[in-house]
Amino acid sequence: MIGSRKKVHLEPNTNKPMNSRRIFLRDGGIAVLGLSLVPGFVYRAAMAAKPKLGKKKTLITIFQRGGADGLNLVVPFGDKDYYSLRPSIGIRAPSKEGRSAIDLDGYFGLHPSMESLLPIYKAGDFAIIHATGSPHPTRSHFEAQDYMESAVPGDKTIHDGWLNRYLINNPDPDATTFRGVSMGPVLPRSLSGSAPALALGNMTSSELTSDTREMYKTLYDEESDALLSGTSHELFEAMDQLKELNPRGYKPANGVNYQMQGQNGEFARNMSQVAQLIKADLGLELAFVDIGGWDTHSNQESRFEQLLTRFSGTLATFYEDLGDRMEDVLILTMSEFGRTARENGNAGTDHGKATVMFLIGGSVQGGAVYGEWPGVAPDVLNENRDLAMTTDFRDVFAEVLDNFLDCENPGVVFPDLTLDPARYKGVIAS
Amino acid sequence: MIREFCRLRRLPGFSSILFTLTATVLLGISPADVAAQSQLTESEQIIHVLNRLAYGPRPGDFERVQAMGIPAYIEEQLSPETIPDAVADEIIADFWIVGKNFSELADYDRPPVARAERQRQNVREKAQRADRRRAGASSRYEADESNRLLAARRSVLNSQISAEVTGFDRAPGDGQLVDVRLLRAVYSERQLLEVMVDFWVNHFNILVGDLFLGTDFSQNVIRPNALGNFEDLLIATATHPAMMYYLDNWLSSAPEAVVKDRLAAGHEVYPGSSERRALAMRTRQGYFDQAKNLNENYGRELMELHTLGVNGGYTQEDVIQVAKSFTGWTVSSIEPGSPDGHFVFDPLIHAGGDKVVLGETISSGGMDEGMQILKMLAHHPSTAHHISTKLVRRFVSDDPPAELVDAASRAFNESGGDIREVLRAIFSSPEFYSRQYYLGKVKKPIELVVSALRTVGAEIEPGYGGPMAYLGQTLTQMGEPLYRHQAPDGFPDVASAWISTNTLFKRMDFAIVLSTGNIPDITVDIDAAHALFRQLEFPIPTPDQLLGVQSIAQQMSENMMLNESEDDSGSAQNNMMQESKPSSIGQEIADPNVLATVIALGSPRFQKR
């Protein structure tokens, strides 16, 4: 599936990513600074004389927290072992009657509650990678999430996230405050690091009204500490820009509605706001959205019915809302691990290994399930219990950075991995 | 009208900020150098000492230090065991973890039924105590109106708190650990001890998202040694299962073949040993890119972070030799964090033979090898320098002055690693009282939150959930989730790590929510705070100047009421893009003293210590 490649980057990854970089100051001088010492606003002020706003590519990463059961999201109905492992929660092979998998390619099928994504799959804008996961054996949510977001599994000394390392290593002269944005109240590990990024849910509050803001603005403008005054300047500017957006009055395009039955709630609201930010051309390049509820130790199917309807319905709504702009948008989903191949005694599943990743967007070579299928026969299960991992999640991340964002040096983002485009799945048209 | 009282200077052009910063970084010229010549006034010195040795002043502290004199205050703080602390003891008495030792804490984790029952009991008792307190302090909640507002506010906050934002559950033990830390920091008279607990918790960072191990480590390893001897502290951390798990040393062993030979030769098997080996092999398979069976993680961090420092003069070969010496320092259970997992030395997996560390030969001797190395490292000059640098960074400046670091190192060496002596050297140095460093440290989140609570004389009712969970969440949003730092180096101690658009926003937001009394079960004394700001020479507006501002506040209040009826989302999620939510804050802020407190706590001056 590897298409023709326009560039190949193979660099030894001996350098830590945060070493000194050149910063071109506005007056034309050149200074070599330790980037980690430079506050965000100075960095951006140095990089951007006047932000040029306009269309740009946007990568939306969605983290399914809790460990999503890839085996029931994308059902291997063609693998007979699947049904012996899951006598009660297994999804039936495609059938005209009753709830059953939605056939994708004669072997895999979508969970019936994900029907809304089928048209996108058929249109060729939705690709699935099965049996993806982390090489690290941990079954702890926290550890596994952390390792996926740092993209350096097993290394506790890495402080920043993979998306932040991308920002650091690909300085953009047109960057705005909105280059990297998380929709939650806390900056996720993926976006944390020395490059600035916004946590929109944190910058909330109602309490900081425009009037209170005026009072603070006056005090901070007077402040001699450049870190405090410069950062506040940027904060107030960002808040002004967001206020102008008027999210209450947002009308999605193409007649869709994010608040439809069964898909309202935080995830839908966050996705509608991502859509709004993209359309406002504020310079959004990386967006991060969380969706929880995947830790299905019991009664998995009744939970999935609701959760998957909400999840896929929102993605389909977003896809419709963005319309032609999906050409420049890529949605990438991930979860810290999959679940045990065997169902447990409570009609649920426990922490496992490999799972599925979704890619949705105009640049996706969709309508296909990618990845090597390891099978779920007892002798090929990971530790005799989980779907084995055949695609390292970092290879998917790398392909996205390399071929969607046209990152010049994706190797720097993955310090302990020797990148090899031969391992890319060819999911992104390049 | 606001501009009038602020004596607004023009905003310096961005290019001049840039220039200043560039000059600072490139040429080493600090703008402060110029102003550094004058000495601090007496009241500035008092403010400085309270900002650095303590989490800022509570109302009354300024007068107390003024009366006893700064040297006496420092000596008192260096001997916390001599300071009565009844108020803090009373407030934390409700928390089950307080005073519990390792095995008591471990018991909590053992039988699920007993644990659940204990938790229920715990909640019941807390609720009863809280009710009794409320009954005795009903005046706080007199008006029906404010009760209603409080209840509304509380429901919003509680749903915010329960929102899953961090991806892991807040275990009751971890919650208590954070709560007790914060309450002590706010209430304890032993302020320097609290500051040093924070320092060492970060220096010896662990991350065991686990009920009892982390609690025991903080409460029974760090706290009793925080102002003691460095060697004792180092050994206590090295022989704790939390550290052995966290830095993987529990999996480090002699080569597998050696272990097998020993077993064949009838070597005594420590209970659990062989299973642990199996687990270790499986966990490590194809993963750790190191000498087979040896895990260097602890050996490296022991020298790089805990003792010598990254340029402290050790080599990769030293790391390997130290790691070999520490093989067998492990945990008695193969389940990480199990209540049965206490520290053990397991001779079966110890790598034999002499080792050479930093040029010194360590004779083959089982567990003694590690003990010998710990003692050697604890008293190494590089360790003295490393610890002193970090302490000077904490107490004096992000950019530690070299002469002071040297003086502190000398105190460390001459006293054999007595932490009090190092601190005494720092607190008695001319640098400590230099104007150059006055208000020169940006507060990290715990310092900001605790000092704000102290400034407003906060009375906290730490019932179940409620205010403590809110404070913990606030710290997380400001970037410092206590006891949740992943990397072994602990939270950073420099301004650039803490100030971003997100966190600055949260700091302002917190100032408003706290000053207006909108954190459930936290009562603030606005008059006392106002008096304190005058004492601290805060630039806050006079009542006259506030007349104009009050009309703004009135407007705010009206705007908010308007927005209240519009809000139909029913969601408690804070979201910037939903500009306004129902709030009583506009009304409360109309009180000039409240408004002044809002302004002061959110001001740039209050972000610094």
Tell me how far apart the alpha carbons of residues B400 and A163 are, in angstroms, rounded to a whole number: 32
Residues B447-473: tens digit of each pLDDT: 999 999 999 999 998 865 578 888 998
Contact list, B29 vs chain A (CB under 8 Å): none
- What one-character DSSP code corresponds to residue A247? G
Tell me how far apart the alpha carbons of residues B465 and B257 are, in angstroms, rounded to a whole number: 53
Over residues A331-343, mean pLDDT:
97
Contact list, B310 vs chain A (CB under 8 Å): none
Q: pLDDT at position B109, please?
A: 63
Residue among B283, B556, B604 minimizing CB distance to A211: B556
Tell me how far apart the alpha carbons of residues A194 and A18 are, in angstroms, rounded to a whole number: 8
pTM: 0.77
- What one-character DSSP code corresponds to residue A402? I
Q: Which residues are bridge partners to A357 per DSSP?
A: A129
Contact list, B508 vs chain A (CB under 8 Å): 208, 212, 216
A26: tokens are 């506005």
Answer for the pair B467, B461: CB distance below 8 angstroms, yes or no. yes
Q: pLDDT at position B3, please?
A: 36
Residue among A135, A186, A234 minimizing CB distance to B166: A186
Contact (CB<8Å) B508/A216: yes
Weakest mean pLDDT among A270-274, A372-376, B111-115, B522-526: B111-115
Question: What's the ipTM?
Answer: 0.78
Contact (CB<8Å) A225/B571: no
Contact (CB<8Å) B21/A42: yes
Answer for the pair A26, A49: CB distance below 8 angstroms, yes or no. yes
Does residue B171 register a pLDDT over 50? no
Contact (CB<8Å) B282/A137: yes
Residue with tokens 């915010």: B160
Pairing relation of β-strands A198-199 and A74-75?
Answer: unpaired
Contact list, A220 vs chain B (CB under 8 Å): 603-604
Query: How close, in Å, is residue A47 to chain B by CA atoms?
Result: 12
Q: Which candidate in B3, B10, B21, B149 is best for mutational testing of the A interface (most A CBs within 10 A)?
A: B21
Contact (CB<8Å) A140/B209: yes
Q: pLDDT at position A172, please?
A: 87
Tell me how far apart the alpha carbons of residues B253 and B324 are, in angstroms, rounded to a whole number: 8
> What chain A residue is nearest to B1 in terms of C-alpha separation?
A215
Contact (CB<8Å) B2/A215: yes
Tell me how far apart the alpha carbons of residues B175 and B123 are, in angstroms, rounded to a whole number: 13
Contact (CB<8Å) A157/B607: no
Confidence of residue B130 (pLDDT cuts 50, 70, 90): low
DSSP, collapsed to helix, strand or coil, labels residue A340 as: strand
To the nearest whole number, what is the mean pLDDT of chain A? Answer: 84
Residue among B9, B168, B607 minimizing CB distance to A142: B168
Q: Which candidate in B301, B576, B583, B585 is best for mutational testing of the A interface (most A CBs within 10 A)?
A: B576
Size of interface A-B (CB pairs under 8 A): 226
Residue among A135, A158, A196 minimizing CB distance to B287: A135
The highest-confidence range among A170-174, B273-277, B584-588, by mean pLDDT, is A170-174
What CATH code is assigned to A21-203+255-423? 3.40.720
> What chain B residue is nearest to A30 in terms of C-alpha separation?
B22
Query: What phi and psi values does residue A334 have, to the nearest 5 degrees?
Result: -155, 160
Does residue B317 register a pLDDT over 90? yes
Answer for the pair A98, A360: CB distance below 8 angstroms, yes or no. no
Contact (CB<8Å) B477/A186: yes
Residues A63-87: tens digit of each pLDDT: 999 999 999 999 999 999 999 999 9
To the nearest whole number, what is the mean pLDDT of chain B? Answer: 78
Where along chain B do its domains lie?
Answer: 2-35+442-607, 231-378
Residues B3-41: tens digit of each pLDDT: 333 332 333 333 333 333 333 333 344 444 444 456 899
Query: How close, in Å, is residue B555 to chain A by CA atoms?
Result: 9
Contact list, A135 vs chain B (CB under 8 Å): 286-287
